[in-house]
Structure 1
Amino acid sequence: MAFQYQSLAQQLAQKIYCGELTVGQRLCSLRQFAEQQSISLNTAKSCYELLEAQGLIYVKEKSGYFVQSQQDAQHIAVPDHPSFPSRPREVSNLELQIQIHEASANNRLVHLGSIQLSPDFVPVEALRRSIQRALKHCKPEDFLYNNRQGHPTLREALSAHWAEDGFYIAKEDIYISNGCMPALSMMIQSVSHEGDSIIVPTPNYNGQLQLLALLKRKIIEIPANTEGFDLQRLEQAMQKSGAKVCLLTANFQNPLGFCLSNAEKEKIAQLAEKYQCYVIEDDIYAECSFNAKRPLPIKYWDREGYVIYCSSISKSLSPSYRLGWFCLPQRLKHLHAKLILQNVSVNTPLQLGLADLIFSRAYRQHLSELRPKLMAQVEQYRQFISQAFQGVEIRLNQPQGSYALWLQFHEQVDSLALYYHAQKHSINIVPGLIFGEDNRYNNCIRLNAGHQLSDEIRGAIVLLADWVRGELSAEDVA
């Protein structure tokens, strides 16, 4: 668990990033802050010193502490998004989707494509100790074919972990999978058929759209923006389209980074029940919140079993461990036998290692340390992007968690051309047109801010900015 001063610093940092505390604003004195928070003067001092080290506040001798300017990143407009009709349609450009998806995970290129954490953030020693302890204390039957639903110890650990965060899912309802995408795939196939339509907000994670296309499902798009998505349009789609399944991310959606309010999540659960429309909830980014406490999922408000909860550790720990899960509500328990046959057994030592990491508190400690680092790192990216694109009109999201950045240019900029230009220079980005239909996001790109902002990455961002600047200049001349 994070030290108290770290949690308090994280809360103040979030207020600075969100503009609740403005540049130049004077903070209360150390003594006042200590009294307000019922903490010692030393804890208050450690909190302010941490914020000062992160470049968020500064001290004036005999005057106190003040909010530091975050350069120009706070003043960048957020991306705007078009409205469009919601109707069933095929996912287009599947070959291009697959090509870009594969390229984005090419680790030989500069890491601005796939949304993944730097290996520097992986708690290697804690993982090693947990796996060693798990092997030391495992039982003979753990070396035989394992339970396809997942090892009971890991299911128990996950249930306890979530209960500590405020929501409860019984271990009997948890199924361990080889990552989140296999979990989503099984659930989509379990509650829909080929040719059915799935409701999705767009711009939406291109990997999900690619999966739906490969499963021969159509999509019904509803407009999304950096604040969330249109719940009225969601209800209309549930009511009139005939679709009986939604695929939604409520917490730090990829690529926009929004987090829906509790009231909105509760409304979605109510709509699912009212229209008997299953919500498959991909909650893969929830533990990458910039706040000390992770947000609740839609599943928390599910009363009638229409919300299917899916997630993994790929974004909060490491994608290489291939550990995910789906949670089957009682309404769908008749699918148990079928799912057990379909589910591919997951490596038992890794399951036991993750269970130990959770029970030993090392995983929660990792999350406590990761969240403020991610928040500061994402803001560093935003500031540098603002500097690199100086003089160019851009719009940039300000995520509330996770580390996906959505960058919008003037409409004449072709993100696919920028993608190919970047590829020639061994740089990975993801062009916006594959996050929805009708090329409506072709002037946008998505960038990964999960790796530390190295000189190599800075150089890559400058190269992107120079290309965009050149394209706009050429258009002006023409």
Structure 2
Amino acid sequence: MAFQYQILAEQIAEKIRQGKLVAGQRLISLRQCSEQQNVSMNTVKNCYELLEAQGLIYVKNKSGYFVSAKKSVIQHTPRPTHPDFQSQPREVSNLELQIEIQQASIDNKLIHLGAIQISPNLVPVEALRRSIQRALKHSKPEDFLYSDKQGHMRLREALSEHWAEDGFYIAKNDIYISNGCMPALSVMIQTLTEIGDSIIVPTPNFNGQLRLLAALKRKIIEIPADTDGFDVERLAQVMQSSGAKACLLTANFQNPLGFCLSNAQKERIAQLAHQYQCYVIEDDIYAECGFSFKRPLPIKYWDQQGYVIFCGSVSKSLSTAYRVGWFCLPQRLQHLRAQVLMSNVAVNTPLQLGLADLIYSRAYREHLTRLKPILMAQVEQYRQFIITAFHQVGIGLNQPNGGYALWIQLPEQIDSLAMYRFAQRQGINIVPGEVFGEDGRYKNCIRLNAGHELSDEIRDAIVLLADWTRGQLTSVNVA
């Protein structure tokens, strides 16, 4: 699903390719383009920033945007293809490998192409410092006693108001604060299911979720996903036939594929959850990392019967080190409050109050406004460099509309686990496709993080991976 700014950018890019816009020509202003195309100023701004990231236009201070003298060509590459398969309950078979790769992905001595995290340079450190200082200055004596295991009321109120501004409402009393998103998912999985139960997941799926399910001794029922999303009617069939109590879904900028489901699909999922009484545990951790000004709505927005549990955190939009997340218990499940509170771990109160201040001061909203176009441009820079580095290799590459996970499908002859081992020896961190599903379906795929600036070090690492791939293909062809 392309956003308006992407459609507009492609239209302008096509005019540049056809010579209708020539080198050095000044583009119409943001305001003029907004009026001419009948779109918002933010849409035009995002469009121009995308074209700038692609090298097609450049900006002159106080003069506007101009067509680049050297007309760069937007490089396209096929999107990854994904196999169909039967959906059936099964164990997650590679837990030891999952754990090994997770530990490697957070090794700060390695080049950051593994764990999906934004650069420390994108963290609003000064605003965060001021918010934490203000929170401590205005804290009350009871804030330094044992904290409410549901979470501090001020943060729950702040989150409720923050989401309402984005178009969906969750009552403050339904919000539970957790030590990040994964602990939130863990609490809800253990609350709604038992050991040996099956959880429905689309694959390829975030390896951390699969690792969690394996550690909790839950089985999985996989349904095929691709860069457009997943078949919601297949989800309906599996809900009906499997008797699964829950499914674990990311509708907005899923990791690793980056898809964003349509509103109609999200509404349908909420209806299916009610129809088959199969709870949807919604991991919405990437929703605030979209490239569009407007935050996409979660599945929870369409939940009328209380079968969707909304979970998330600020680890992808603010900092992976800021361990504050949440899960939202609908009224249908409020009778489980005592059980949930026993499972939940109380969160550091000053951090909660600091985040609440960041939200109320508007600093968090301002941070998101600055972050979106930066991520959009950065992801496109990575994509264009990867396409160049892997020239004539024959790869598939996703084009996410949000988030910063890049999914690369390599030629069938390439073993991504062997690439992972090679990369480790070179001090480079990547994640092989092996851990995103079962049956080796993604053994020729890798996931890369585009959350850091595309430095010379990272460029060299990508070129090294591309050269290794060419060497492997040559060896196979010679053999």
- Is TM > 0.5 for Structure 1 vs Structure 2? yes
Matched, 1:271 2:262: no
Q: CA RMSD in A?
A: 2.5
Cα distance change on mapping 1:34 and 1:279 into 2, 3 Å: closer
Shift of 1:316: 0.2
Q: Which moves more between the two structures, 333-342 or 283-292? A: 333-342
The Cα of 1:406 is off from its aligned counterpart by 0.2
Q: Give the CA deviation at 1:439.
A: 0.2
Partner amino acid, structure 1, of 2:86:
P
Q: Which runs of 5+ in 1 are unaligned?
A: 1-10
Partner of 2:15: 24
In 2, the alpha carbon distance for the partners of 1:50 and 1:294 equals 18
Inter-CA distance 237–332: structure 2 relative to 1 (3 Å threshold): same
The 5-angstrom pairing of residues 96-115 of structure 1 reads: 96-115=97-116
1:33 Cα deviation from its structure 2 partner: 2.5
3-state SS in 2 of match to 1:223: strand
C-alpha displacement at 1:34, in angstroms?
Answer: 5.9
Map of 2:169 onto structure 1: 168
Alignment partners' CA distance in 1, 2:154 and 2:178: 15
Is the Cα–Cα contact under 8 Å of residues 116 and 450 in structure 1 kept in the other structure? yes
Q: Structure 1 pair 70/343, CA: closer, same or farther in 2 (3 Å)?
A: farther
Distance 2:386 2:47 in 1: 27
What is the SS of the residue equivalent to 1:265? helix
Tell me which residue corresponds to 1:33.
Answer: 33
Q: 5 Å matches for 1:266-345?
A: 266-345=267-346
Deviation at residue 447 of structure 1 after TM alignment: 0.2
Instruction: Name the CA shift for 1:250/1:44 in 2 (closer, same or farther; >3 Å).
Output: closer
Contact residue 72 and residue 386 of structure 1 kept, 8 A: no
Alpha-carbon offset, residue 16 of structure 1 = 5.4
**Paired residue for 1:3?**
none
SS in 2 for 1:24: helix
Separation in structure 2 between the aligned mates of residue 139 and residue 449 of structure 1, nearest angstrom:
41
Match of 1:15 in 2: 7
Contact 1:23 1:69 in 2 (8 A): no
Using the alignment, how far apart are the partners of 2:385 and 2:4 within structure 1? 22
Q: For 1:358-408, what per-residue CA distance to the aligned partner results, in whole angstroms no more than 9, with x for missing partners?
A: 000000000000000000000000010011111211010000100000000
Verify the 8 A CA contact 1:201 1:222 in the aligned structure 2: yes
Aligned counterpart, 2:182: 181
Cα drift, residue 45 of structure 1: 11
**1:319 offset after TM fit, Å?**
1.2
Equivalent residue for 2:62?
Answer: none
TM-score of the pair, normalised by structure 1: 0.92
CA distance, structure 2, for counterparts of residue 101 and residue 343 of structure 1 = 23
Q: Is 1:378 paired with 2:403?
A: no
Partner Cα distance (2:11, 2:216) in 1? 44
State the alpha-carbon separation in 2 of the partners of residues 216 and 469 from structure 1: 40
Question: Equivalents in 1 of 2:71, 2:191: separation in Å?
Answer: 51
1:69-90 Cα offsets, whole Å, 9 max, x none, are 66453x1000000000000000
Q: How many pairs does the alignment contain?
A: 462
1:230 is the counterpart of 2:221: no
Q: Map 1:58-77; keep pairs closer than 5 Å.
A: 71-73=73-75, 75-77=76-78
Q: One-letter code of the match for 1:411?
A: E
Amino acid at match of 1:221: E
Which ranges in structure 2 are unaligned for 5 or more consecutive residues? 22-26, 60-64
Name the counterpart of 1:474. Answer: 475
Query: What does 1:238-257 correspond to in 2, within 5 Å?
Result: 238-257=239-258
Tell me the distance in 1 between the aligned counterparts of 2:32 and 2:373.
Answer: 24
Within a 5 Å distance, the mapping from 1:386-405 to structure 2 comes to: 386-405=387-406
2:459 alignment partner AA: R
Deviation string 1:167-225 (CA, Å, 9 cap, x unpaired) is: 00000000000000000000000000000000000000000001001101000000000
Q: Distance in 2 between matches of 1:45 and 1:164?
A: 22
1:409 Cα deviation from its structure 2 partner: 0.8
1:431-450 map, 5 Å: 431-450=432-451
CA distance in 2, matches of 1:292, 1:254: 20
Counterpart in the other structure of 1:460: 461
Does the CA-based 8 Å contact 2:306-2:332 persist in structure 1?
Answer: yes
Whether the aligned pair in 2 keeps the contact of 1:14 and 1:291 (CA below 8 Å) is no
Report the counterpart of residue 7 of structure 1 in structure 2: none
